[in-house]
Structure 1
Amino acid sequence: MFGEMELWSAGRSLEVGTPRQQAVLAALVVDARRPVAIETLIHRVWDHTPPANPRAVLYSHLSRIRRLLTQATSLADGTTAQIERRHAGYVLDVDPDLADLHRFRRLVEQGSDRQRGDDARAAELAEALRLWRGSPLAGLPGGWAAQVRDSWQQRRLDAVVQWAQIELRLGHPATVITTLPDLAAEYPLVEPFETLLMRALHATGRGAEALDRYSAVRQRLADELGTDPGPELRALHRAVLNGELPPPPRDSVAAARNVTPPPPRPQPRPAASTSASAPHRPDPEPVGGDESPAVPPDAGLLATDHTATLEPASAEKPRLLTTLSGRVTAVATHTPLTRAQLRLIPRRTVLAALVAVVLPAAIGSVHIFQRDKSDDSPSISPTIARAQALFAAAEEFDQEGRIKDAQAATVDAVRLYDELIKLNPDQNAPALVPALIKALDRAGVDFSVSAAVLRTWLANPVYTPYPAISQMLLLRGWRLKAPVYLDVIVSNYEHTRGITSPRHIADVRPDVLRAAVLEGSNTRYGTQVRDLQQLLEP
């Protein structure tokens, strides 16, 4: 999958066919041993321009791929690969580790496990990076292939940064100097590469070269982006000048970031479900774990039952609105309230005032960005601002140790977020993703990808399961003692037999999500915990 699509068996390279046939095979390989719906295959292969009879053309490609796999398995000794038709779609039944893409993922996950020794981690990350032979699915057309390329390019950058950090901690700067210059030339705007290379150069007594690299990257950023180096790189530059370089850091929370603007996201909507028959859609369970809800009935209007009436606030009643400056204002009295004053207001008053004007506006509002008459720049709508105010209130409560209040505010914020992305996901989701990421972080959900990739995933409720699963994680009110990677949780969820990739909160099964979190934690920390309650903060 890295570079051009290739199929090898018993040391022989087999012809994989036309680009369209390669795209069909790739669409099955990325979900090896998981069913892929026919509609999803058609979307991945043809985007929004399918042929006149796409199913017939797809069946023809599948037939030829089956013959190709039969030839491959006849050459291999005991290795099997076949395509099966199931009610939920087509499944490529093959060991995922036989695909370089999946092997790369596994090695990076093992190399990211901080419970393992640095020597083992460095070796696994280096093995993963050696698998890279070029951009994934090189030469394959379409928006889906481009999205796969973007995602895995970012995973590669993050893996390189982790590997270099570990090698520096192990005292191997020469190894970093051997590898990083070529990658820094390939990705000239990735500042963590320059930071690590400067560290390695300084550690080998080549401080002058380190200073030269800083000058070069500063000029490059100014010429191409009109900006200065980030604070970490600037601080390192000062340290090199002073000869007081701090020790190499532990694994950075912030991953490598390629600041090249990503390509526009595809617009067509694929089928909402990947199964032939619609699964049971349980209602989202309340906050607070398995035994009892943590949100009292009066925690806020959105936390009450569906029979509660939402009465629009009159002009005389004070309403709390968030302004772009982050302050809260009582609209009726025009009296500004600082954050310190907001802490003194009972939680129920804040949430009720915020939410009472939120849901009716959200349900009746379709146009989310409004243009100011005086200029052409988009301004954030009050509806989105109210959702952000709820997330901000939850963060305030959490900082004060008012955990139940924070959970109640989060529930209301998530439900409003759900209403907004149902109305217009392309516009509303990106505006609220930063607040969603903060809420997940407070819940103990970790991220093994860069912020840019994470924002792309969470802003795509139509194309990815990340928004739905993230919302359910927050609605459950779980607060993990030790963080678990979000992409691992999603992968575990989707690999569960008989499960359809969710696109809405109602599609997410809490029992499967609970098992996915448990598995993600056990895999990361080498434990064998069987009860999720043991992983949660009291």
Structure 2
Amino acid sequence: MGGRVDFRLLGEIEVRSAGRPLDVGTPQQQVVLAALVVGARKPIALEALVDRVWDHDPPASARPVLYAHLSRIRGLLRQAAAPGGGTTARIERRHAGYVLDVDPELVDLHRFRRLVEQGADRQRDDEARAAALAEALGLWRGEPLAGLSGEWAAQIRASCHRRRLDAVVWWAQAELRLGRPTAVISAVPDLTAEYPLAEPLECVLIQALHAAGRGAEALDRYGVVRRRLAEELGADPGEELRTVYRTVLRGDPPPPGEAGAALRTAGPGPLRSRAAASPPAVAHRWADPVPVGGGASVGAPSGVGARTAARTTAPRPGPTGTPSSPEVPLGHLAADATDTSSSRQRVRTTRRRALLAALVGVTLPAAAGSAHVPRRDESDGPQAASVELARELFAAAEAFDQEGRARDARATVMDAVRLWDELVGLDPDRNGPPLAPAVLRALGRAGVDFSVPRPALLSWLGDPVHTPYPAISQVILLRGWRFTAPVLLDAVVWNYEHTPEVTSPRDAADVRTDVLKAAVLENTRTRHGTQMMEFDQLLRP
């Protein structure tokens, strides 16, 4: 009987055959392998593989190098299947790209997702949910894709951490409902050290301390968290945490898991902490107080929530107080060491506040130098303030363009687009329409115009649920494309959607760059009568 082949991504990348680790090659080869394993049984376009290895800046030899990596990975898979002809995995070349044909149950990440989805299923009883979540958390061996660099690997890591945090909170809630606060007290403190600003995690720990008769410790814990939030974010605890605190003070805790809206929502999709700090470089292994087996994290939710699932982890302030996050990186301000202009400082401060406001979900106090950002009462809500901040970012990018500061303009508009994406993911009907005019102006500066009536285009740009316009516009702006001759956005979208075997995207991550480039080229040929065959010929230097 043949041996089992296992693919492990929740830690250093491993391929094990019958329990024996195999050589997975260089970091570049590991990125290719990880991309195929993450997308198991789904085609990955060659260009997507190139982007994931070289971060959208491939060398001239990218394709031959990639083919070499694929050849070596095929050899690795043959070696993995050799002992007795056991479970096999193979790479297939299809029209839409390369596919790793492997049972997802042989991949720890996919088991992680499946088990967390089971733990989030409210149709199951709490015992079954707690067991599934514990098994999922038991799969965590360390930092996902450890040792791999690049934007794609960072996004996968951030998504895994977000899902892990969801799973921990849901597991703790189930344990509390089962009357087992000691299990929560034993396991959760280690996780709060990794996610020091994750308020849902602190909520369940404080509830567990109180349920175990340790009310004084629960109150002290609240004080520690309150001070930490004030020092690192300049913010007070959120309503859920304050509700738990008040119930502890009264000595009359609510039923477990009923502290507030965030804790009551144990269905699929990420629990949004107001500030879940980026995890350290090496994550501690989950020490589960209940029996564990294999596991997964919440699968990426479909629809609108999918665009926010991988961006709900707020950055930990760096040594100078400037947030840094592999998940939503701030664009780099090309600041000269002697440049102390007030406009630069205002934009830098605004960008910090915008990113934190979007990711943390809290309205921060107006910072010095941010005179153009209006103060808002709490009744206006954090999203309304974040919309204003996004507008400020788009306006700052436009000002940089007018001053001829192209690098600063590009960095700022990228931050604005990421915030726009976050906001429409939270509430498309409320946040999409007011930002559409600013998006349209940014597209105009990039050399994108339109042939349909402006009101129609603004409506489409404000509707990420039913149209591909926001997703395609985000890719254009995030890539920093600036066209030498204007292209029609509506014609580009039409060309994209009418490409055979291509689905209409609703999220920037779903936009196929090769198809989008071809759509732009086709519009340029039709509109301007050019014979250009290379996309880069359309771009300004």
Task: Give the TM-score category using the shorter length.
Answer: 0.5 to 0.7
Give CA deviations for 1:303-333 in whole Å, capped at 9, x if unaligned.
xxxxxxxxxxxxxxxxxxxx9899xxxxxxx
In structure 2, the residue matched to 1:248 is 256
1:348-382 superposed Cα distances (whole Å, 9 cap, x missing partner): xxxxxxxxxxxxxxxxxx97865599xx9x99x9x
Q: Which amino acid aligns with 1:462?
A: V
Whether 1:263 aligns to 2:263 is no
- What is the CA-CA distance between 1:49 and the residue it aligns to? 3.2
* 8 Å Cα contact 2:88/2:102 also seen in 1: yes
Task: Select the residue among 172, 193, 198 that pairs with 2:206.
Answer: 198
- Partner AA of 1:142 in structure 2: G
User: Tell me, what secondary structure is at the counterpart of 1:229?
Assistant: coil
Aligned equivalents of 1:424 and 1:96: distance in 2? 44
Q: CA 1:100–1:411 in structure 2 vs 1: closer, same or farther (change >3 Å)? A: closer
Alignment of 1:361-376 (within 5 A): none
Percent of matched pairs sharing the same residue: 56
Partner Cα separation in structure 2 for residue 93 and residue 233 of structure 1: 45
Q: For residues 407-449 of structure 1, what are the alpha-carbon distances to aligned partners after superposition, in whole Å with 9 as ceiling and x for unaligned?
A: xxx9989998996896689xxxxxx99x879x89xxxxxxxxx
Are 2:398 and 2:442, in contact at CA under 8 Å, matched by a contact in 1?
Answer: no
Question: What is aligned with 1:220?
Answer: 228
Could you tell me whether the CA contact under 8 Å between 1:421 and 1:461 is conserved in 2? no
Match status 1:236 vs 2:244:
yes
1:335-359 CA distance string (max 9 Å, x none)? xxxxxxxxxxxxxxxxxxxxxxxxx
TM-superposed CA distance for 1:502, in Å, is 3.1
Show CA shifts across 1:213-268 (max 9, x none). 11211222222222222122122122212201111236533714215323375799
Alignment of 1:307-456 (within 5 A): none
Which of 192, 211, 214 lines up with 1:184 in the alignment?
Answer: 192
**Residue 19 of structure 1 contacts residue 140 of structure 1 at CA under 8 Å; is this kept in 2?**
yes
Which of 151, 154, 162 is the equivalent residue of 2:159?
Answer: 151
- Partners of 1:38 and 1:89 within 8 A in 2: yes
Could you tell me the TM-score, scaled by structure 1's length? 0.54
Relative distance call for 1:414 and 1:235 in structure 2 (3 A) is closer
SS at match of 2:182: helix
Cα gap change, 1:163/1:459 in structure 2, threshold over 3 Å: closer, same or farther?
A: farther
In the alignment, does 2:80 pair up with 1:64?
no
Q: Does 1:129 align with 2:137?
A: yes
Query: Does structure 2 conserve the Cα–Cα contact (< 8 Å) formed by 1:111 and 1:122?
Result: yes
CA RMSD of aligned residues (A): 4.6
Residue matched to 1:502: 505
How far does residue 143 in structure 1 lie from its aligned partner after superposition? 0.9
TM alignment of 1:269-280, pairs within 5 A? none
Q: Which residue of 2 aligns with 1:20?
A: 28
Paired position in structure 2 for 1:47: 55
Query: By how many angstroms is 1:392 displaced?
Result: 10
Whether the aligned pair in 2 keeps the contact of 1:10 and 1:76 (CA below 8 Å) is no
Q: Quote the Cα distance in structure 1 between the aligned partners of 2:40 and 2:33.
A: 10
- Corresponding letter in the other structure for 2:187: T
Alignment of 1:455-534 (within 5 A): 461-462=474-475, 502=505
Contact 1:28 1:92 in 2 (8 A): yes
Measure the CA separation in 1 of the matches of 2:72 and 2:89: 14
- Return the alpha-carbon distance in structure 1 between the equivalents of residues 105 and 116 of structure 2: 13
The one-letter amino acid paired with 1:252 is R
Distance 2:473 2:109 in 1: 22
Q: Equivalents in 1 of 2:219, 2:15: separation in Å?
A: 46
The answer for the alignment partner of 2:176 in structure 1 is 168
Are positions 1:211 and 2:219 aligned together? Answer: yes
Q: TM-score, normalised by structure 2?
A: 0.54
Q: Structure 1 pair 81/393, CA: closer, same or farther in 2 (3 Å)?
A: closer
Residue type of the alignment partner of 2:219: L
- 1:78 deviates by 3.3
Q: Which amino acid aligns with 2:202?
A: E
Alpha-carbon separation, structure 2, partners of 1:90 and 1:459: 24
The answer as to 2:117 corresponding to 1:109 is yes
Verify the 8 A CA contact 1:27 1:45 in the aligned structure 2: no
CA distance 1:393–1:245, change in 2 (3 Å): closer
- The letter of the residue matching 2:203 is T
Q: Which amino acid aligns with 1:189?
A: L
- How many Å separate the matches in 2 of 1:197 and 1:48? 42
Retained in 2: the 8 A contact 1:129–1:159? yes
Match of 1:521 in 2: none
Distance, in Å, in 2 between the alignment partners of 1:393 and 1:137 is: 32
Instruction: Encode CA deviations 1:35-71: one digit per residue, 9 max, x unaligned.
Output: 1011000000111332331010001111111000001
Q: Residue 23 and residue 460 in structure 1: after superposition, are their counterparts in 2 closer, same or farther (change >3 A)?
A: farther
Which residue is equivalent to 1:33?
41
1:150-195 Cα shifts (integer Å, max 9, x gaps): 1111011111111111111111111111110100111111111111
2:101 paired residue number: 93
How far apart, CA to CA, are the structure 1 residues paired with 2:445 and 2:164? Answer: 32
**Cα distance in 1 for residues equivalent to 2:253 and 2:146:** 41
How far apart, in 1, do the equivalents of 2:506 and 2:10 lie?
Answer: 28
- 1:425-481, Cα deviation, whole Å (9 max, x unpaired): 9xxxxxx99x879x89xxxxxxxxxxxxxxxx9899439xxxxxxxxxxxxxxxxxx
**Structure 1 letter corresponding to 2:116:** V
Q: C-alpha separation between the residues in 2 aligned to 1:136 and 1:53? A: 28
Aligned mates of 1:138, 1:501 — CA distance in 2: 33
CA shift, 1:85, in A, is 0.7
CA contact (8 A) 2:155 2:327 kept: no
Gaps of 5+ in 2: 1-8, 278-313, 316-324, 332-372, 377-393, 403-407, 447-458, 477-499, 512-541
Distance in 2, Cα, partners of 1:173 & 1:266:
38
Unmatched 5+ residue regions in structure 1? 269-322, 327-365, 396-409, 426-431, 441-456, 464-496, 509-538
In 1, the alpha carbon distance for the partners of 2:73 and 2:217 equals 52
User: What SS is found at the alignment partner of 1:208?
Assistant: helix
State whether residues 10 and 140 of structure 2, in contact with CA within 8 Å, keep that contact through their aligned partners in structure 1: yes
Give the conservation status (yes or no) of the 8 Å contact 2:169–2:200: yes
Report the 3-state secondary structure (helix = DSSP H, G, I; strand = E; otherwise coil) of the residue aligned with 2:92: strand
Q: 1:10 to 1:394 in 2, by over 3 A?
A: closer
Structure 1 residues 118 and 458: alpha-carbon distance in aligned structure 2, compared to 1, 3 A threshold: farther
Q: Distance in 1 between matches of 2:133 and 2:507?
A: 35
Choose 44-53 or 60-69, whichever is displaced more. Answer: 44-53
Contact 2:176–2:257 (Cα < 8 Å) also in 1: no
4+ aligned runs moved over 4 Å, structure 1:
264-268, 323-326, 366-373, 391-395, 410-425, 457-461, 497-501
AA of the residue aligned to 1:49:
D
Q: Distance in 2 between matches of 1:21 and 1:97?
A: 22
CA–CA separation in structure 1 for the residues paired with 2:505 and 2:428: 28
